[in-house]
Amino acid sequence: MSQTTATFRTCPLCEATCGLEVTVRDGAVTRIRGDRDDVFSHGFICPKGSTLRQLHDDPDRLRAPVIRRGGDWEEVSWEEAFQMVEAGLRPIIEQHGGDAVAAYLGNPNVHTMAGPLYVKPLLKAIGTKNIFSASTVDQMPKHVSSGLMFGHPDSIPVPDVDRTDYLLMLGANPFVSNGSLATAPDWPGRVEALQERGGKLVVVDPIRTRTAQAADEHLFIRPGTDALLLFAIVAVLFEEELTATRHLADMIVGLAEVEDLAARFAPEVVADRCGVPAETIRRIGRELAAAPTGVAYGRVGTHTVEFGTVASWLVDVINVLIGALDAPGGAMFPLAAHSRPPRSGRPFRTGRWQSRVKGYPEVRGELPVVTLADEIETPGEGQVRALVTVAGNPVLSTPDGARLDGALASLEFMVGVDFYINETTRHADVILPPPPPLSRGHYDFAFYTLSVRNVANYSLPTLGRNGEMDEWEILTRLALIASGQGADADPAVADGWSVAMTVNQAVADPNSPISGRDPEEILGHLNQYQGPTRILDYLLRTGPYGDRFGDDPDGLSVARLIEHPHGIDFGPLQPRLPDLLTTASGKIELAPPPIMEDAARLADTLAASPGGGLLLVGRRHLRSNNSWMHNLEILAKGKERCTVLMHPDDAITAGVGEGDQVRVSNPTGTVTATVTITDDIMPGVVSLPHGWGHDMAGTRLTVAARRPGVNSNLLASTLVTDAPSGNAILNAIPVTVSKD
Ligand SMILES: Nc1nc2c(c(=O)[nH]1)N[C@H]1C(S)=C(S)[C@@H](COP(=O)(O)OP(=O)(O)OC[C@H]3O[C@@H](n4cnc5c(=O)[nH]c(N)nc54)[C@H](O)[C@@H]3O)O[C@H]1N2
Ligand SMILES: Nc1nc2c(c(=O)[nH]1)N[C@H]1C(S)=C(S)[C@@H](COP(=O)(O)OP(=O)(O)OC[C@H]3O[C@@H](n4cnc5c(=O)[nH]c(N)nc54)[C@H](O)[C@@H]3O)O[C@H]1N2
Ligand code: SF4
Ligand SMILES: [Mo]
């Protein structure tokens, strides 16, 4: 008899954490729709959420490990694959040390349970300083400004969109991206609610995006100038005596330094560079200050630029100056169910070590990905000879992909943990495929720490596995190999030891919520699970809402979350200052020296005459996800997406017409794509989406290869970065456009 069951799970594809209702009949998924009872998303879903089934069934998705033999891929057993890894990695580590093995960690690592828990032990086992990730083509500026201002790089305030009266949004398009560093399923619904309660959304973006169209006001801005605009707002707040730091007054140091520097950025000074009239800048400053509650929020467009850290810092400076930080309707710090309070006494700093070739300072334990190719190509002691990638595609997603592609081809050994043979993993000697989303459990370690409400949800695997190995097991086995314990070492044993050690330490720690308890009793509870779920259970039960293993019968545990398949809501965000502050001063450091230095450099740029010419920016599409998911016909079909957007005036100047093939060029590279002419883009700006260029030989992406598009990152340079964070510059890139 056929049996139909409704199961519920959290979508792991983007930061929005939507609840899905997945209908399963006879072991197969028949329907996926939004879970109307989800405590956070209330049924909201985007077109990607329902395609987890197609991802599951994609014939190109690897179910078993493959190794490269000659020019071809051969499926092998897991045993054989790990033996290959051991034979490839160990001699390099033994002969040249751990630094000879680099790691690149891609975006989906923050969308699995294994990534946040099992990558670090792997990196430690390799013993390498050559750690790179998608963070330095993304949000590293936010980590740096948050670390320097609040003490910890993950103390990131999020806009309280559900309670604010005024949201100033820069360089973000959450109606398409579904939000970033601000986890909130259903941005359109939340913005509509904001407007219905009489609030206002102002969007600052060189493109009239979907979000901009829904906003009450949209301002075009010349790409790369947000730091100037934000500084001008700060200048207005001081000059017009609109600052009201309210509850924060006793928690701030550095106010006078900021006021001094801001005086150099009056709206009248920056207006022409930003393309925003001075009077508009003044009005926005006044409106923000006058709103009952208001908040500034900036994202990808403000971070992936030359002054990304300064812009990120200024957003929070404004929030401090108007008393919005840590206040309802302002910018607040979430309290995730698994989180620990940040440890004081070790304030954040950068540059604890430097990259070998170019001397880039370490930031948050890693090095800028723009210098990965340097480390592979440059001979000498410490040269990178092998690479481990986990869930990434840097050939398409990081600057100068052509050069990196060549560098990867020169490696002695490479292993990729991924379920696709993409533009990057095609260089691997061994590819190890983890299970697809429907075959794994989920709890959103990363995004509950960035969520506009405090919620928790745990998903059980919906379907069984089909030959894939759980990702925590893959990562643990790689760690065991890297540390010399061999390809046959049992990951379950290693995992059990590490949990036992954690518990033994906690019961001995007077500050732990389970201080003095019997470790065997605690482990007895935990050992009903394994892998990341066991660690999650420990973190939840000892966390801010935890049951402390029976001390609080109403408290949280994995079992309790399983009883609540639509999630548990802990309500709106609560103030967390000053407890959260772990800076040396114990205060909010409004003028951290490394940022002030770069801000002074920004002030000095005002003396030079502004450059002209076209600037390239990126954009995202609802039916796409960075460089992947282009292999699902249901998402990929339809109008060509990888086109160059251009304003009619610029098209006339360049002599190009709608649908023409154009060459977009600069000293780093050239790409050719179809032009779309639209006045939704600011004059002087052109746009290409990233994550395309699926026409490289040796990949296995049959559907994606039919609509390859071009790699916009061939135009991004590895020679420039946001100085304090080492973040790549992916927006405001000078280019020329001509007819092909
Ligand atoms: N020009 C330009 N470039 C950009 C950006 C931009 O705005 N403009 N955005 C940047 C940003 S924000 C980001 S985050 C990066 C993303 O850059 P990357 O993280 O390097 O690339 P992704 O395209 O996310 O690739 C993800 C890979 O992970 C695999 N994968 C998916 N799920 C799993 C899983 O559960 N486990 C494992 N092991 N693998 C999995 C997919 O098959 C895919 O191969 O791109 C950046 N690049
Ligand atoms: N559908 C879809 N959703 C995604 C992704 C995806 O690829 N597709 N990727 C996910 C990832 S990894 C991330 S990090 C998030 C990112 O989420 P968002 O931060 O919302 O990123 P984008 O949608 O790229 O929006 C960035 C906006 O910045 C604008 N911009 C470019 N340069 C500048 C500038 O100098 N100043 C200003 N003010 N604006 C500028 C661009 O025009 C664009 O509209 O999205 C996530 N969600
Ligand atoms: S918005 Fe994000 S989390 Fe929600 S369904 Fe779409 S991809 Fe999944
Ligand atoms: Mo990202």
Below-50 pLDDT ranges, the chain: none
Give the CATH number of the domain where residue 35 resides: 2.20.25.90
For residue 181, is it within any domain?
yes
Q: What percent helix, strand, coil does the chain show, rounded to 5?
A: 35, 20, 45
In 3D space, the residue among 182, 147, 174, 170 whose CA is nearest the CA of residue 231 turns out to be 170
In 3D space, the residue among 337, 326, 380, 335 whose CA is nearest the CA of residue 357 turns out to be 380
Handedness of CA 474, 476, 477, 478 (dihedral sign): positive
For residue 390, is it within any domain?
no
For residue 237, is it within any domain?
yes
The bound ligand whose nearest atom lies closest to the alpha carbon of 301 is: 2
For residue 505, is it within any domain?
yes
Out of 57, 72, 100, a domain closes at 57
Query: Whose CA is closest to atom 2 on ligand 3?
Result: 14
| E strand spans, 285-444 | 295-298, 331-332, 386-390, 413-417, 430-432
The pTM for the full model equals: 0.98
Separation of 94 CA from ligand 4 center, angstroms? 35
Residues 597 and 655 in one domain: no
For residue 92, is it within any domain?
no
Angle, CA of 473, 479 and 480, to the nearest 5°: 90
**Is 134 near ligand 1, meaning CB less than 6 Å away?**
yes
Residues 9 and 52 in one domain: yes
Query: Whose CA is closest to atom 6 on ligand 3?
Result: 46
Residues 229 and 293 in one domain: yes
What is the rounded distance in angstroms from the CA atom of residue 420 to the CA atom of residue 404?
Answer: 19
Residues 593 and 531 in one domain: no
Separation of 450 CA from ligand 1 center, angstroms? 19
**Is 206 near ligand 2, meaning CB less than 6 Å away?**
yes
Separation of 171 CA from ligand 2 center, angstroms? 7
**Is 204 near ligand 2, meaning CB less than 6 Å away?**
yes
What is the rounded distance in angstroms from the CA atom of residue 233 to the CA atom of residue 243?
Answer: 11
Domains in the chain: how many in total? 4
Give the CATH number of the domain where residue 702 resides: 2.40.40.20
Query: Whose CA is closest to atom 8 on ligand 2?
Result: 625
CB 700 within 8 A of CB 73: yes
Separation of 166 CA from ligand 4 center, angstroms? 25
CB 369 within 8 A of CB 474: no
State the CB neighbour count (10 A cutoff) for residue 162.
16
Residues 495 and 591 in one domain: no
| Token pair belonging to 569 | 């809501």
- In this prediction, residue 1 carries a pLDDT of 65
What is the rounded distance in angstroms from the CA atom of residue 138 to the CA atom of residue 122?
Answer: 23
Beta 331-332 vs 158-159: how paired, if at all? antiparallel
Residues 678 and 705 in one domain: yes
Out of 563, 592, 621, a domain closes at 563
Kindly list the protein residues whose Cβ atom lies closer than 6 A to any atom of ligand 3.
11, 13-14, 16-18, 45-46, 48-49, 178, 185
- In this prediction, residue 688 carries a pLDDT of 98
Mutate to test the pocket of ligand 1, among 420, 627, 630, 692 (most ligand atoms within 8 A of CB): 627
The pLDDT tens digits of the residues spanning 51-89 come to 999 999 999 999 999 999 988 999 999 999 999 999 999
Residues 160 and 308 in one domain: yes
Instruction: Determine the atom of ligand 1 nearest the C-alpha atom of 398.
Output: 47
Mutate to test the pocket of ligand 3, among 11, 51, 112, 621 (most ligand atoms within 8 A of CB): 11
CB 139 within 8 A of CB 297: no
CB 660 within 8 A of CB 612: no
Q: Domain range holding 668?
A: 612-739
**Is 135 near ligand 1, meaning CB less than 6 Å away?**
no
The bound ligand whose nearest atom lies closest to the alpha carbon of 397 is: 1
For residue 402, is it within any domain?
no
CB 267 within 8 A of CB 232: yes
Q: What is the number of residues in the chain?
A: 740
| Token pair belonging to 532 | 């990341």
- In this prediction, residue 612 carries a pLDDT of 87
Report the b/e string of 648-682 with b at 16+ CB within 10 A: eebbeebebeeebebbbbbebbbbebbbbbbebbb
In 3D space, the residue among 193, 452, 203 whose CA is nearest the CA of residue 331 turns out to be 452
Give the CATH number of the domain where residue 198 resides: 3.40.228.10
Residues 43 and 172 in one domain: no
**Is 732 near ligand 2, meaning CB less than 6 Å away?**
yes
For residue 450, is it within any domain?
no
- SS3 category, 38: coil
Residues 543 and 624 in one domain: no
- In this prediction, residue 346 carries a pLDDT of 86
Residues 156 and 299 in one domain: yes
Separation of 16 CA from ligand 3 center, angstroms? 6
Residues 285 and 163 in one domain: yes
Out of 57, 72, 93, a domain closes at 57
In 3D space, the residue among 737, 7, 734, 729 whose CA is nearest the CA of residue 304 turns out to be 729
For residue 93, the Cα-to-chain-centroid distance in whole angstroms is 30
Query: Whose CA is closest to atom 4 on ligand 3?
Result: 18
- In this prediction, residue 46 carries a pLDDT of 98
In 3D space, the residue among 341, 342, 338, 328 whose CA is nearest the CA of residue 573 turns out to be 328
Instruction: Determine the atom of ligand 3 nearest the C-alpha atom of 14.
Output: 2
Residues 173 and 194 in one domain: yes
For residue 406, is it within any domain?
no
Instruction: Name every residue whose Cβ is closer than 8 Å to that of residue 583 and which is 6 or more positions away in sequence.
Output: 148, 149, 150, 151, 347, 589
Handedness of CA 478, 481, 486, 487 (dihedral sign): positive
Task: Write the single-letter amino acid at 560.
Answer: R
Task: Write the single-letter amino acid at 664.
Answer: V
